[in-house]
């Protein structure tokens, strides 16, 4: 990686519902900040949220961070997966309990459509635990796939009947 590569602003969603959830989030942020070519620029508050998908599990703590990076999206995904594994994440079921979950939500204004990586994250515009912290960090976000601003997307999400509870805890 050389200094001529484009620095992108990337939003990453973090979630934990096993063990010491607060410490898990902080450890993940520290490990992300230690990735070569990555700098954590901003953090949202932490939110307590009901589980998505499989509801028979403990509530999550969720947070969004903004990073600056020169890494390609696939390189960043690989680094995040390594952090999940290092922290003890085991992928045994979809939407199941996890020590840490790290999702690339937005990667600059890019749209990425690989088999194992879709950006913007496919469920980002439906989940309050993503939208509320995203808006907290940057109320001017535009989703590159839909062209909609974060406020409009958030209002649409709030109008749905199946909205999960979310509570800011810090």
Instruction: Tell me the residue range of the domain where 91 lies.
Output: 8-168
Of 12 and 157, the structure prediction assigns the larger pLDDT to: 12
Active centre residues (catalytic): 89, 98, 101, 103
Assigned domain for 147 exists: yes
Q: How many domains does the chain have?
A: 1
pLDDT tens digits, 24-70? 999 999 999 999 999 999 999 999 988 876 677 889 999 999 999 99
Assigned domain for 2 exists: no
pLDDT band at residue 163 using 50, 70 and 90 as cut-offs:
low
CATH of the domain at 163: 3.30.70.560
pLDDT band at residue 98 using 50, 70 and 90 as cut-offs:
confident
pLDDT at position 95: 60
pLDDT band at residue 1 using 50, 70 and 90 as cut-offs:
very low
pLDDT at position 92: 64
136: CB partners within 8 A, 6+ apart = 44, 45, 64
Q: Is the pLDDT of residue 114 over 90?
A: no
Question: Regarding beta strands 117-119 and 38-43, do their DSSP bridges make them parallel or antiparallel, or are they unpaired?
Answer: unpaired
Assigned domain for 152 exists: yes
């Amino acid at each position: 990686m050389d200094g001529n590569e484009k620095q992108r602003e990337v939003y990453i969603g973090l979630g934990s519902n096993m063990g010491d959830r607060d410490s898990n989030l902080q450890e993940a942020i520290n490990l992300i900040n230690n990735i070569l070519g990555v700098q954590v620029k901003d953090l949202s508050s932490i939110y307590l949220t009901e589980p998505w998908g499989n509801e028979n599990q403990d509530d999550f703590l969720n947070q969004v961070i903004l990073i600056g990076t020169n890494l390609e999206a696939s390189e960043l995904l690989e680094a995040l997966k390594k952090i999940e594994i290092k922290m003890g994440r085991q992928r045994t079921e979809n939407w199941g309990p996890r020590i840490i979950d790290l999702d690339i939500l937005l990667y600059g204004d890019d749209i990425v459509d690989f088999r194992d990586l879709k950006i913007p994250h496919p469920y980002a515009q439906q989940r309050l635990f993503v939208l509320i912290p995203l808006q907290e960090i940057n109320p001017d976000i535009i989703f590159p796939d839909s062209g909609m601003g974060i406020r409009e997307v958030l209002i649409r999400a709030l109008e749905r009947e199946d909205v999960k509870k979310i509570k800011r805890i810090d």
